Structure 1
Amino acid sequence: MNPDAVLAAAAAAWARVGAGLTPADRAALGEELSRRRAAGPADHRAATERAAGLLAAALPEEFGAGGRSVAVPVAESGTVAGFTADDLAVLLLDGSPMAGPVLTAVRERLLAAPSVPKSELAGRERGLILLPAEDGPRVPRFQLAPDGMPRPVVLTVNRLLGAETDPWGAADWWLSPHAWLGSPPAALLGTPVEVQLPDLADLLTEEF
């Protein structure tokens, strides 16, 4: 199995693979993935091979003997069950679950929305959605009023949606078209309709 496929296989089985790594192994793998992410074409392959070698040494039952014990189909491109080597960096370095053949598209769509770096909030990010990204946590801009302060209604809705533990799900609720509203809830902020948003969020989370 080629090194890209080894990393892709680790991403595809990350719940099991990640649990099998020691803190030292995770740190070492993270360092190589960081180098791989930042590397130019000349160094990218070497970083990929080193990261794959770390996995083979740390988890020989999973990735020993060329990784053949990973019982999932491997495409010629090095993808495994739709996962790529880049997905492993998303899972480990960014701490984001939004990887793989389905969730990558959702992650890219949400990260494409206007945002500001967390550093620009100067400690005002409490209660806001923070999306992990390659260049650091991003704060979707819709949460901020024109003066840069968090919108009170956003803080209320984020609390109802559990944005602290599920920032991606909360961001998707805000930024996706809503069947009842006819538009994404974020588009209604600053309009008279925004007063309805907490009730809609409460209906979503109500236990029956």
Structure 2
Amino acid sequence: MTPADGDRLATWLEDLGLAAHLGEAGLPTFTRDPSGLAVWTEPDRLDELDRLLHSVGSEPEHAVPVGLVVLARQARLRTELLASPWFTYDTLAEVRGASVDATRYAVHKAAQTHRLLVVPVEERTIVPAFQLLPDGELRPDLAPVLEPLLAARMDPWRAWAWLTQPAALTLGQAPERAVTDPDLTDLVLHAAVRLAETLSRDSTSRQDR
């Protein structure tokens, strides 16, 4: 692939908003030199990269790299989730009026018993606020929803999204809000259990391969 071809490939990825996700997908990345030309980290892999990115669909020349689209969507969702309220050990300790050590212990214990969702962010652990009462204690109405999902080892980011994003199943409400509606409580609990069962089956299937 010529430098001009590599530049066109880079421009295509930029136009799709996917260039920033190449490294996360384990693919060659690029920067722009002072003249604006794309400089790839592994230019010898560009033919392979081009084939890979255009390998989906019946018309490869018009294909969109689905894997990168998924990564980009996940990145946007994580940004949205991190824009919602959450606590660190320190800030949760302030709300609870407890020491940081006592709060850390309580969080770990609740997480181990599948009653609290904790999410790793870089080198720290955060606690999404939706699952807590104003005084920082656990919402008892969420425990039956959290327990099957967390026991099934659902990815924390996916669990956070599933619980807090509006869903057609719950009439456009987020499951964590719908569970407070007596008309929807059983539906949310059933959905959580079924999802947990699916996760467990998928995990077992992967282990058996």
TM-score by length of 2: 0.50
Contact 2:154 2:196 survives alignment (8 Å): no
Q: Does residue 100 of the first structure (1) align with residue 71 of the second (2)?
A: yes
In 2, Cα distance between equivalents of 1:9 and 1:188: 37
Q: Name 1:123's counterpart in structure 2.
A: 105
Q: Name 2:132's counterpart in structure 1.
A: 144
In 2, Cα distance between equivalents of 1:144 and 1:83: 34
Q: Name 1:67's counterpart in structure 2.
A: 42
Q: Name 2:175's counterpart in structure 1.
A: 185
In 2, Cα distance between equivalents of 1:11 and 1:118: 29
TM-score by length of 1: 0.50
Over residues 54-100 of structure 1, what are the superposed CA-to-partner deviations in whole Å (9 max), with x where a residue is unaligned?
xxxxxxxxxxx952243325xxxxxxx7999xxxxxxxxxxxxxx83
Over residues 11-47 of structure 1, what are the superposed CA-to-partner deviations in whole Å (9 max), with x where a residue is unaligned?
2217xx9xxxxxxxxxxxxxxxxxxxxxxxxxxx9xx
Deviation at 1:189, TM superposition (A): 5.4
Q: 1:118 to 1:192 in 2, by over 3 A?
A: farther
Q: Specify the structure having the higher radius of gyration (Cα).
A: 2
Contact 2:178 2:185 survives alignment (8 Å): no
Aligned equivalent of 1:112, options 60, 76, 83: 83
Q: 1:66 to 1:107 in 2, by over 3 A?
A: closer
In 1, Cα distance between equivalents of 2:179 and 2:105: 23
Q: Name 1:198's counterpart in structure 2.
A: 189
Over residues 122-168 of structure 1, what are the superposed CA-to-partner deviations in whole Å (9 max), with x where a residue is unaligned?
32222322222247322111111222111233233222123744111
Say which SS state the counterpart of residue 146 (structure 1) adopts. Answer: coil
Structure 2 unmatched runs, 5+: 1-5, 7-19, 32-39, 51-64, 93-102, 202-209
Deviation at 1:174, TM superposition (A): 0.8
Give the total of aligned pairs.
138
| Structure with more relative contact order (C-alpha pairs < 8 Å, separation 6 or more) | 1
Q: 1:192 to 1:122 in 2, by over 3 A?
A: farther
Say which SS state the counterpart of residue 24 (structure 2) adopts. Answer: helix
